[in-house]
Amino acid sequence: MIMADHYTYRVTWSAEDEEFVGLCTEFPSLSWLALTHDEAFAGIRELVADCVADMEANGETPPEPMADRAYSGRFVVRLPPETHRALAMKAAEEGVSLNRLISARLATDL
């Protein structure tokens, strides 16, 4: 049984709708509009809980919450050889490994 409160939620302002929008990362097609941040958060959580309950009642498997997934800390990225060379040179100039350079750059974009 999936716990709906383990999912990844966020609330943002929609200038177009002039309302807050509640979103769930694991259910990108769902959203909830409300006049307040708290109402949007409560609305999307309730909507997701209802969706999970419906899926389970119909024998479907809801998506696994991102918070409950195991991550290895490793992934492969393909890039052009010129970019690989430039990054390797930058890492050498900074006296760090290529992995350390890229990890640091990715972390600053979060």
Mean pLDDT of 30-47: 98
DSSP 8-state symbol, 35: S
pLDDT of amino acid 110: 73
pLDDT of amino acid 4: 80
Model confidence over 4-17: pLDDT tens digits? 889 999 999 999 99
In this structure, the number of other CB atoms found within 10 A of the CB of residue 7 comes to 23
pLDDT at 57 over 90: yes
Question: How do the domains of the chain map onto residue ranges?
Answer: 4-67, 71-108
Q: Is 80 helix (H, G, I), strand (E, B) or coil?
A: coil
Model confidence over 67-96: pLDDT tens digits? 999 999 998 999 999 999 999 999 999 999
> Residue 3 is which amino acid?
M
In this structure, the number of other CB atoms found within 10 A of the CB of residue 23 comes to 18
Structure tokens at 24: 């769930």
The chain-wide mean pLDDT, for the chain, equals: 94
Determine the topology of domain 4-67 in CATH.
Answer: Double Stranded RNA Binding Domain (3.30.160)
